Structure 1
Amino acid sequence: MPDTPRLTAMLAVIVNPSKFTDLEAVRSQITEGCRAHGQIEVHWYETSVDDPGAGQARQALKDGATLVCSLGGDGTVRSVASALVGTDVPLGLLPGGTGNLLARNLDLPVDDLDAALATALTGVDRRIDAGAVSWDDGPEEVFVVMAGMGMDATMMGEADERIKDAVGWPAYLLSGAKALFDPGFAVTAAGPGQSAHSRRARMVVVGNCGELTGGLRLLPEARLDDGELDMVVVAPRGVVGWFAVVRELLTSRRSDPRAVRHLASDRFDLRANRPVGAEVDGDAVGERRRMQTRTLPGALVVREARPQRGAEAS
């Protein structure tokens, strides 16, 4: 059961100013919304290119914040969450980007800032898992939605920012169409106690939750609080294979295991035969050859909507 939130003595808003054409109007909207809910003290922290949110969130904690809200895209959410992992301070999600993937998976408002703010101020706290990923034996970094290699990274990295600003998530479909002609890569994937699984793939994704933009569910069995990560290996062969992939995305029903294979574990180790484009929570991170992931059970507190009485009773 979700916990009842404590009184927000100090609200911190970590904002990515590049996501807004009129930041002052957004600040005024949030300030007025807070006053309407009896929350007067709001502290603002702006992200930068050098620090997309983690440093600001750590400073907010030092300043005594009892609720930290991210106001930006998925990259801002991930950076702020990385500083809150392991603490009891909840993360509130205010939409300001294209994907808003964690908010979607929590069924939070993604296109209504006032509604999202109301949820952050009046909702309940819930502990969820986070994930940790390291690339090519480098240092670990936190993710809250998913990390992957291959086609998904190409879609994220090559999406035109102007088209994203104009039409939103469909911009990824245009870059994804280019990725259809990529020959793929050989990958070996294994979890603890599992035999290594090798095949040629177009995309490998390890996720803490499964819903993408547009309502597509890449990992339909993934849960935010089950202590595990879910992995999908997408390896279609020919047109028939792609039909199986599309059918599974649209229906969330298991399809051809040769085209789409699912695994679940608390950690995974993936090795590609060549450098492949990689992404974390929708942000492209360049080409990588090895991805190691592990789950961080119950490491993050998020603020979600308070259950309605009828749903709570049932």
Structure 2
Amino acid sequence: MAPTRRLAVVYNPTKVEDLEADRRVVAEACRRHGWEEPSWIETTAEQTGEKQGRDAVEAGADVVASLGGDGTVRAVASALVGTGVPLGLLPAGTGNLLARNLDLPVDSTATAIEPLLTGSDRPIDVGFVSADGKPEEVFLIMTGLGFDGEIMAGTSERVKGVIGWPAYVMSGLRQLLNRGFSARVEASGSDGVAGSPSDQVRRHARTVIVGNCGTLQGGLELMPDATVDDGVLDAVVIAPRGAVGWASVIADIATRHRVGHQRLARLRGREFTIGTGRPIEAEIDGDPIGPHQRLDIRVDPQSLLVRHG
């Protein structure tokens, strides 16, 4: 008889609408596919998923699944990098951006659990970012500062819980015409990387984003060439002037123009340093981390396994 496999689900109770229904769906699927009864580990405000992920690995889990928002995914992934234990993705919250970028089901637990139990493991890149010299943190999607950080810091959790990702649009409209900042963005390790127009950008910017994935909420492709397993990160430096400048940038992104223009510069590399003239609101995978003046960013190629369909 083949050995049974173990699934651990790390869940954020504030993001799960019907925990008992999810538990029934997952337990039934595990029985159907010959897995052991799954274990469920709750996150807290103080322990957001990394410790729970480590505990699950130490307990012998074959797959550790995240059931929560993008912040829960990031926390659980932090515990799994380099372990060889795959991350499973169950949809909850408003973003589910990693699952969307991997074309995994995000409509329900019932559709997501099947590839999680029966699929194969896909290695993906992991980003690391240090803000103002602080210890590195993992990111799977994007990190940056400026407009994106202001959006995340200004988005109401209550409104987001009611209307979903359009809450970010509402926040963005309030921040749209805030003043910019002086930025220096340096990319290294881009030798031989096709499509890298420059290794350094200096300009008055509105936002700087470095991404492992390219697709945002609503299917907007901010970095159409970004893929999660190419060993490099992609960056955009957005520098619009007024409403007309924003319209030009939005048109460029909407038409998937890969080269960029005078208001939108694109870079690629394995390491980035972002410096600003003053502290600017920053974010990591959609979580606001407060104002910072320097981000040091690097990629660890294919260091995380994700259970894929």
**TM-score higher than 0.5:** yes
CA offset digits 1:83-134 (Å, max 9, x no partner): 1001111111001111111001000111221111111001111111000000
SS at match of 1:68: strand
Contact 1:247 1:255 in 2 (8 A): no
Deviation at 1:135, TM superposition (A): 0.2
Inter-partner Cα distance in structure 2 for 1:33 and 1:9: 13
Provide the rounded CA distance (Å) in 1 between the counterparts of 2:216 and 2:169: 12
**Letter of the aligned partner of 1:281 in structure 2?**
D
Q: Amino acid of the residue matched to residue 246 of structure 1? A: I
Corresponding residue to 1:269 among 267, 273, 280: 273
Deviations 1:245-289 (A, max 9, x none): 111232212475111110000000011111111100011111111
Q: Report % sequence identity.
A: 51
Corresponding residue number in structure 1 for 2:82: 86
- 2:293 partner amino acid: R
Mapping for residues 97-246 of structure 1, pairs under 5 Å = 97-192=93-188, 196-246=200-250
User: CA separation in 1, counterparts of 2:200 and 2:3?
Assistant: 49
Measured in 1, the distance between the counterparts of 2:26 and 2:120 equals 19
Any idea what the Cα deviations from partners look like across 1:274-313, whole Å, max 9, x if unmatched? 11111000111111110010000010000111xxxxxxxx
| Aligned residue in 2 for 1:288 | 292
Gaps of 5+ in 1: 1-5, 306-314
Alignment length (residue pairs)? 300
Q: What letter matches 1:49 in structure 2?
A: A
Is the Cα contact below 8 Å between 1:9 and 1:41 reproduced in 2? no
- For 2:84 and 2:128, the matched residues in 1 are separated by 19
Q: 1:293 to 1:256 in 2, by over 3 A?
A: closer
The answer for unaligned runs of 5 or more in structure 2 is: 190-197
- The whole-number CA distance in structure 1 between the counterparts of 2:4 and 2:248 is 48
Residues 233, 113 of structure 1: alpha-carbon distance in 2 compared, 3 angstrom cutoff: same
The RMSD of aligned alpha carbons is 1.6
How far, CA to CA, are the matches of 1:197 and 1:29 in structure 2? 50
Larger deviation, residues 7-16 vs 104-113: 7-16
Q: Deviations over 1:216-265 (max 9, x none)?
A: 01111111111101010011123332122111232212475111110000
Whether 1:67 and 2:71 are equivalent positions in the alignment is no
For 1:260 and 1:8, how far apart are their aligned partners in 2? 52
* 8 Å Cα contact 2:225-2:258 kept in structure 1: no
Residue 43 of structure 2 is aligned to residue 47 of structure 1: yes
Q: What is the Cα deviation at residue 136 of structure 1?
A: 0.2
Q: What one-letter code is carried by the residue in structure 2 that aligns with 1:292?
A: D
Spell out structure 1 runs of 4+ moving beyond 3 A: 193-196
Aligned to 1:26: 22
* Counterpart residue identity of residue 53, structure 2: A
Distance 2:147 2:87 in 1: 30
Distance 1:255 1:298, change over 3 A: closer
Conserved 8 A contact 1:8-1:66: no
Which residue identity is paired with 1:104? R
Indicate if the aligned counterparts of 2:22 and 2:109 stay in contact, CA closer than 8 A. no
